[in-house]
Amino acid sequence: VDQVKPQMRPSAYSIASSALKSSDVVVRLMGANCLQSLVNDFAFKDGLEGYCREFLRAHVAQLLRLITECSTLQARQKVAETLRIIVEAVGPHVKPIVSMLMKFLPELWKRCGDPDELRPIIMMILKAIVSAL
């Protein structure tokens, strides 16, 4: 991912968006993995404004939808980790999506059967939101 040129990043984000919209959960999980790699890359900061303006809200909404549709704990954890990485990476730009996250995270918390299942990642997402604000 670090070899994606800055001018090509919007296309890469668009491809990840397309994958996240697929009807195939496996394709959507691969889209989430791709997005995580793109956002977790050092070069992400260079195009942060454009990413937040064009893709942030849609990507977060698609990831929230995906996490509810994953059938395995490992897949849910991976998607939740992608959300955490995005929230940390966008920093104060998270403000427009805070209400979406704050509506979803308590519901996800309640759905966790085992307290150790997703709750640690949920807490890390909340910590990232508070730190960003």
**CB-based contact 43:50 (threshold 8 Å):** no
First-to-final CA distance of the chain: 28
Q: What is the DSSP letter of 115?
A: T
Task: Give the residue from 118, 131, 47 showing the smallest Cα distance to 88.
Answer: 131
Report how far residue 119's alpha carbon sits from residue 109's, in angstroms, rounded to the nearest whole number. 6
Running along the chain, 133 residues long, what does each successive block of 10 average in pLDDT? 74 92 94 90 76 90 92 90 92 92 90 77 92 89
Condensed to tens digits (0 to 9), the pLDDT of residues 17-43 reads: 999 999 999 999 999 999 998 888 777
pTM of the model: 0.88
Helical (H) or strand (E) element with 81: helix 73-90
